[in-house]
Amino acid sequence: MDVRRALDIFNDKYNYAVKLDGKPVWIEQVDEFNGMATVQLGSRPDNTHTVSVDRLIEDEHQ
């Protein structure tokens, strides 16, 4: 995924299925300038990781 799409998903009022390494994640923040996103894995709010947006994949079959 690119930064623009990550920002679109983050700012949209609808939910989009996004995966990191095959696991569902929720985009918590997007760092547009560095191409990074902070994502929440699963349902635990304290389980967050900051990764390159290139590693995020939008699930087209939601």
Q: What is the domain-level CATH number for residue 19?
A: 2.30.30
Q: Are 26 and 40 in contact (CB under 8 A)?
A: yes
Sheet containing strand 48-52, edge to edge, reads 48-52, 36-41, 23-31, 18-20, 56-58
Total domain count, the chain: 1
Rounded to whole angstroms, the Cα distance separating 62 from 52 reads 22
| pLDDT for residue 43 | 84
Q: Which domain, by its residues, includes 28?
A: 3-58
pLDDT in tens, the chain (62 residues): 999 999 999 999 998 999 999 999 999 999 999 999 999 998 888 999 999 999 999 987 65
